[in-house]
Amino acid sequence: MFRTDSKNLRAYGLAMALAVAGAVGFTPATPAFAQSAPQPRSLPDFSELVDQVSPAVVNIRTTERARSSAAGLGGGQMDEEMQEFFRRFFGVPMPNTPRQQQRPAPREEEREGPRGVGSGFILTADGYVMTNAHVVEGAEEVIVTLADKREFKARTIGADKRTDVAVVKIDATGLPAVRVGDIRRLKVGEWVMAIGSPFGLENTVTAGIVSALGRDTGDYLPFIQTDVAINPGNSGGPLINMRGEVVGINSQIYSRSGGFMGISFAIPIDEATRVAEQLRVSGRVQRGRIGVQIDQVTRDVAESIGLGRAQGALVRSVESGSPAEKAGIEAGDIITRFNGQAIDRATELPRLVGNTKPGSRVNMTVFRRGGQRELPVTVAELEDRTAAATPRRGPAQQSEQARATSPAAATLGLAVSELTEAQKREAKVKGGVRVDTVSEAAQRAGIREGDIIVAIGNTEVGNAREFEAAIARVDRSKAVPILVRRGEMASYLLIRPARG
């Protein structure tokens, strides 16, 4: 039953008023915010891009020499691998293995076996194909299948593990080739598309957006991060923008299961083509090196030493006899520019040095003790093999020198002693003091017994007397930056003195 209280009467009256207004043609005013609301955009149609680019995308299959037993032992390949593991590392058969499977393995013979499936794309009409290095690594045979189902045996021109770029060649002409895009025009949020062979399913198209640029996951590559569905088998395929241009090579995924989880990484095409050109010309990639180990510069350290903002690469150690040592670089220096290019993050330095032609003489800008210095360096070539690491020297043994234990040093929680000439040579320092005991503020900062202090703030410390003088000038209201050598590594540690 309809209730005739005042609330219902008001509602009834409003409804009648609106009905009358509609009958006489009255249209309520549209709110201003509704007039200015942006029109919804339709999702992009990738069909034309697929028709345009897919003929240049290829499937890559590889085979390798596989070992098989002349007589079966029973059980699967995993059982055989586990038996070998227990035999090699524990000297005993795998537990719960039947006695007949514990006898010595029979004679093995080699055979051609399938290895994996990947993707690639045609760079030139005469048959040069780009893919990932890990797709063709260790392959005895590389088979390239075109979009029109033609198959070719390919030869590997070159592969570079550091960038995961490889170039293979097939004997064919008049092939459809991709167009290379300008990576500088790529923006976060832009739509991109991938074509490849995930799980061996050829000519599979997936799409998404660019999630981030310049993602530092490797020494030499700032990756493109996307949410395009990339799975095993997509490796080596192209990442394509809405203009139909290749902007990257799909290379890595972040996954806990081996499948797509929404985070994929692609090699920027400008980096890849630079590598590919060297591979085509000489079959290998030349990279520069200067011989330093580096670390990030934190904001606290930058502010405390007068650098301003966190920038550059902190030199933690200098390789003996390296171009950096010959140029005068010291542990604790901060390299802020290389060959005229500013270094905002430490990870940029290896790429700049690596892309410099060996033998080139370039200038570096170094921040040291509160000032900038220009140091010329002649870049050497980075060897393909991993160079043997220089063994680290342990902290110098404590000598019988008197310790510096003034009230100022005690404020920082330090007691130090002079270095002997032998200790200086061993630690490769021109001066400094050895930390004998650590407590309170210094201990909280991470300073350890045996460390060598070479500078306080921007003041070099050559001996105990200079150490005491520098400590006496410390502003106890601020964090004190201490440049410490530990073995052959240098670090800035911030001591926050207790206020008296």
409-431 burial string, b = 16+ CB within 10 Å, else e? bbbbbbbbbbbeeebbeebebeb
Q: Is residue 360 flagged as an active site residue?
A: no
Q: Is residue 171 flagged as an active site residue?
A: no
Helix (H) or strand (E) holding 19: helix 6-23
Determine the Cα–Cα distance for residues 341 and 350; give it in Å rounded to an integer. 13
Measured CA distances, 245 to 101, 121, 196, 494 (Å): 56, 12, 15, 49
Helix (H) or strand (E) holding 205: strand 204-216
Catalytic position from the list 160, 164, 333, 451: 164
Strands (E), 56-176: 57-69, 108-122, 128-131, 141-145, 151-160, 165-169
159-181 burial string, b = 16+ CB within 10 Å, else e? bbebbbbbbbbbebeebbbbeeb
Catalytic position from the list 54, 79, 126, 134: 134
β pairing state of 371-378 and 380-381: unpaired
Catalytic position from the list 119, 235, 251, 491: 235
Could you tell me the end-to-end alpha-carbon distance of the chain, in angstroms, rounded to an integer?
83
Q: Is residue 119 flagged as an active site residue?
A: no
Determine the Cα–Cα distance for residues 470 and 483; give it in Å rounded to an integer. 13
Q: What is the dihedral of CA 408, 412, 417, 421, to 10 degrees?
A: -110
Determine the Cα–Cα distance for residues 217 and 237; give it in Å rounded to an integer. 19
DSSP per position, 394-437: PPPPP-SPPEE--HHHHHHTEEEEEPPHHHHHHHT-SS-EEEEE
CB-based contact 148:174 (threshold 8 Å): no
Q: What residues are annotated to the active site?
A: 134, 164, 235
